[in-house]
Structure 1
Amino acid sequence: MVSESLTSAAGFQIAAVKLSGQKETTEFEILEALEIQQGTSLALFDASAARERLSHIPWVDAVSVQKLYPGTLQVRIDEREAYALWQRGDLLSVIDSKGKVISDDVDGRYANLLMLIGHGAQYRGGEVLDALDAVPELRVRVRAARLVSDRRWDLLLENGITLRLPEKDVARALADVVTMDAENGLLARDIAMIDLRLQDRVVVRLTDEAALRRKAGTPDAGARRRSGADT
C-alpha cells in the first residue's frame, strides 16, 4: 500500500480538475461532491465513491470520473433534460421524462414547458405530450394538463378555455378541436369549457359573461368579431 504522503511527495497530488457537460449543475456542487482537499493524492483518490456522490446531484443523470496522471481529475457530466413542470398543491417542480423531480427552483426558463397537475400526473405526461405533438397548432395554446381521477386529462388553454378529453381516442378528440377551430373559430369564442368526452357530440359551455349576453339577446363577442370580418 502506498501512503498518501509518499504519493503527494512524488507529484501525484491533484493539481487540476477538468469539468465538462454541466449546464444546470454548478461548479460548486461538483467540487463539493468530489471532496478534494489540499494535497489529496490522485493515486489514492476514490473515483468510484466520487461518482456515487455526484450521482446524487439532482440534475446529474450520468457521470464519469477519470484520473489523468500526473495530477488531473477529469469529470464529465450528462444532465437530465427538463421535460415538464409538475404541480401538486402549491408545490411546482421541474421533472424529467421519467417523472423524477429535478428541481423545485422554477423560473422563466421553463415557461414553455407543459405543466402537469395532480398526483400521478408526473408519470403519465408522455400520454398527453405525445398526443399534442400531432397537433402543433393546438400544442402552443396549451399551458397545462390536469389528470382527472387518474383516468383522463383536462387541457387548460392560454385563453382560459378548458378542454375535457375522453379516456380513449384522445388523438381523435384533439383533431376534432383543430378542425372546428379552423372552420368555425371555436377557440376564439367566449367559451369556458369544451367537453369532448362523448363520441357523438361536443358540449360547449359559455363563459358567464357570454351566457348573460345570450340571455339578453346580445351576440357573443366572438360572433360580433366574425360578423365584422365578413362585411
Structure 2
Amino acid sequence: MATRIKRGTSAKKGATRPKPRTAQRSRTNALLARLPFSEEQMQKAATIGILGILALGGVITAQFMGVPGMVQEEMALAAGRAGFEVKKVEVRNVDKMNELKVYEIVLAQKDRSMPQVDLEELRRQLTRFSWIADARISRQLPDTLIVDIVEREPLAVWEDRGRVMLVDAEGVALEPSPGQIDPKMLRIVGKRANTRIGDLTKLLDAAPALTPQVKEAEWVGNRRWNLSFHTGEVLALPEGEELSQAALVNFARMDGVNRLLGKGVTYFDLRDPERAYLRRPRSPAKPGGDALASAADQ
C-alpha cells in the first residue's frame, strides 16, 4: 500500500515566537511615564534643539559663503531663540592677574546669540591686558563660553625713576599685585632697561657660573651694563655685545681662579679691554684709599 506524503513544512517544536510589538510599546510607554516631563515636551525640546543646531550651522556656513549680513543676523537670532545664547562664562588658567578683569570683558556677551559672539574680537580685547600673552576662546553649546588664558611669566623686577614693575622675557611691563615682588628676583634698573632684557639674558648666559650671584643689572647711559652681586661688588662692563660678553667671561675665569667676589673689593672696572681696575673700600688711615688700582698690579 502506497504511503502519501503530505507536502509543506510544519513549524518546529520549541521554536521561539517573536514577542508582540504591543508588549515593547507598553514598556516604552511605562519608561516615558516615569520621566518628569511629558512626551510632547520631549518632542518640542528635540525640535527646538535640532532647529537651533541647524540655525547655528547655517550662520557659520553663511559667514564662509559671504551671505549678506541681514540674513546672517536673522539666522543667529533664530539660534538664540532656540536656546543657543550665552548664559555662562568659564575662565581658566588665571593665576597672577585679576580674574575679574577677564569677566568684565567676556560677560558683556551675556544673553547674546552664540553665533553673534565675535571670538577674535574678544581675544583682541583680552590681550590688551599686559598679563595676558594669549587667550583661546571657544563656544561650548548650548550656552557657555570657555576662556582659556595664557599668562606671561615675570622674569625680573624693573625699577625706573621710583616706579617698580615686573617684566617678562620679552620686556613687557606687568603691573604687580601686592606680594608678587620676589626679593630674590633679578632687578634691572634704568630708563628703557626693560627693552634690553633679551640682551641681558644673553649676556648672563655667557657666564652661567656667575648668573646666580648677580643681584642687579643697571643699564647705564642707554649703552652698557653695570652688574651688582649679592656680595656687594659692582662690575662695570664695556659697551657692545661682544666686548661685554668677553669681559664677563674673563671676570668669571678670574673669579674661578682667585675668588674675587666676597674678598673686600667694592668695584671692578672692565671697560678698558687692555686692563682691569678695582676699588677697595675707603681706609680710615688712608683717605685716598678708594682710588682705582690696576688689577695687574695687585
- Range class of TM-score, shorter chain: 0.7 to 0.9
Q: Which has the bigger relative contact order, CA under 8 A and spacing at least 6? A: 1
More strand by share: 1
Give the 3 Å change call, closer, same or farther, for CA 184–148 of structure 1 in structure 2: same
Structure 1's unaligned 5+ residue stretches are 217-231
Give the 3 Å change call, closer, same or farther, for CA 41–25 of structure 1 in structure 2: farther
Does the residue aligned with 1:65 lie in a helix, a strand or coil?
strand
**Could you state the TM-score of these two structures normalised by the residue count of structure 2?**
0.64
Match of 1:96 in 2: 168
The more displaced of 9-18 and 139-148 is 9-18
Query: Does structure 1 residue 155 correspond to structure 2 residue 222?
Result: no
Match of 1:172 in 2: 246
Query: Does structure 1 residue 130 correspond to structure 2 residue 202?
Result: yes
The structural deviation recorded for 1:37 is 6.3
More helix by share: 2
Give the 3 Å change call, closer, same or farther, for CA 67–198 of structure 1 in structure 2: same
Give the paired residue count.
213
Match of 1:114 in 2: 186
The structural deviation recorded for 1:206 is 0.7
Structure 2's unaligned 5+ residue stretches are 1-72, 288-298
CA contact (8 A) 2:226 2:235 kept: yes
Query: Does structure 1 residue 62 correspond to structure 2 residue 134?
Result: yes
Deviations 1:26-51 (A, max 9, x none): 33221111134653432333333322
Write the letter of the residue equivalent to 1:34.
Answer: V
Structure with larger Rg:
2
Give the 3 Å change call, closer, same or farther, for CA 98–132 of structure 1 in structure 2: same
Deviations 1:181-231 (A, max 9, x none): 2222211211210111112221110112xx336x49xxxxxxxxxxxxxxx
For residues 75 and 206 of structure 2, what CA distance do their matches in structure 1 show?
62
Write the letter of the residue equivalent to 1:50.
Answer: L
For residues 118 and 132 of structure 2, what CA distance do their matches in structure 1 show?
19
Write the letter of the residue equivalent to 1:197.
Answer: R
CA contact (8 A) 2:88 2:110 kept: no
Match of 1:220 in 2: none
RMSD: 2.5
Write the letter of the residue equivalent to 1:184.
Answer: N
Decide which of 42, 46, 49 is 2:121's aligned counterpart: 49
Q: State, as a whole percentage, how many aligned pairs show the same letter.
A: 28
Match of 1:39 in 2: 111
The structural deviation recorded for 1:119 is 0.9
